[in-house]
Amino acid sequence: MNNGVAQNNNQQKNTQQTVTSPQQNTFTPNSKVDTHIQQPQTQPVITQSVTVPTTQIVNGQPIGIIAQKATEQAPKEVPKKKVNLLPFLIIVILLLIGAIFYLVQKNKADVARLNFECSPVGYKEETDLDLNSTIVQDLYSKVKTNIREDLASVNFDNAMKLYLAYRQIAEDKIYESNCNLFSKTAMEPYTCPETATFTPMAFKEETMQLELKKLFGENANIPDGNVQIGKNCMGGYQYIEQRGEYVKGYCEEQSATIFSANKKLVSAKSYGNYITLTEEVKYIGNQNAQVPEQLKSGTYQYTFKLDTNYNYIYINKEYIEKY
């Protein structure tokens, strides 16, 4: 029994020792870890590796950059604000268009100020023009004269220039008028009878000046005057300064003639800003009357020049001697 009591006492001591004494675990390098032991759980920490460049200093002098890694929490990315460039681009485009428009207009103004010698036509070689072309026929119609006009005057003076300009006036610029201030002696044989059977026609002096500038150039400076060549019934418009009008008179003389003229345009040439028309003329008389001396058969040349208003203006008419 004593042995049994002693055995029981030893078991109780062992039990007490187990309860009261804390268990110590010793780990050795080759010991196995009990995978059934629960480890305390912790929240994961997100970190980012950032490379911070540093400069190594040796003897007070930097010799290089050494990359160091530092672990820090990633900063929160802030979204960038978008900038709308469309209004700015529209303004730039409008400014460019305005600048181009200004330069174009300035260039046109500079061209308009060029002197009479400048021209938009610049052929370096003489060029033959088609005799049936619009430009040739138009120019020839402005200067070609008939036998009656040649008999009245062959001079290229202001009276002839006024007469040629008058021929260019459109019919819608001429209107019915009256004989007020018409001089009966200023351009005989023209008169202006105030009767029920005669109504004088008229046109404005600015109409005449416009045609003079178109035909002879801006700087022609041809003064207003009576439209009459010679002392016969050719023209018939008297310039009345007080009225600012040209008024047509009445002439009773016959306009028939016993002479005739054959005229033919034989060539048209262009050189630079000039155009020349060459005309062959044959005046014809009869057995009873010889052709007047002032009428010369032969070759005539008309010269035109393009001015800064893009009008081919009439420069002169020349008789070309064959010998």
A 10 A CB-CB count for 177 gives 19
Q: Averaged over 151-155, what is the pLDDT?
A: 91
Place of tokens 């418009």: 237
pLDDT of residue 79: 67
Which of 63-72, 193-202, 232-241, 279-288 is least confident? 63-72
Give phi and psi for 213, each to the nearest 5: -70, -35
Q: Please tell me the distance from the alpha carbon of residue 71 to that of residue 74, in angstroms, as a whole number.
A: 9
Neighbouring C-alpha atoms within 13 Å toward the C-beta of 185: 0
Q: Which amino acid is at 214?
A: K
- From start to end of the chain, where are the E strands? 48-58, 61-72, 127-128, 175-176, 201-204, 227-228, 235-240, 245-248, 260-271, 274-284, 298-306, 312-320
Q: Tell me what pLDDT residue 323 has.
A: 52
Q: Residue 295 corresponds to which tokens in the numbers above?
A: 């009428």
d(CA 233, CA 215): 23
Q: Is the entire prediction scored with pTM above 0.75?
A: no
Structure tokens at 292: 């007047």
Question: In this predicted structure, what is the pLDDT of residue 60?
Answer: 59
Q: Which residues contact 152 (CB under 8 A, 6 or more apart)?
A: 229, 230, 232, 234
253 and 231 Cβ atoms separated by less than 8 Å? no
Residue 149, token pair as written in the block:
């006009």
Q: State the pLDDT at residue 196.
A: 84
CA distances from 150 to 14, 145, 159, 292 (A): 164, 7, 13, 10
Residue, of 32 and 73, whose pLDDT is higher? 73
pLDDT tens digits, 208-219 = 999 999 999 988
Alpha helices in 185-299 (DSSP H): 205-216
Q: For residue range 188-208, what is the model confidence (pLDDT) as tens digits?
A: 999 999 888 899 999 999 999
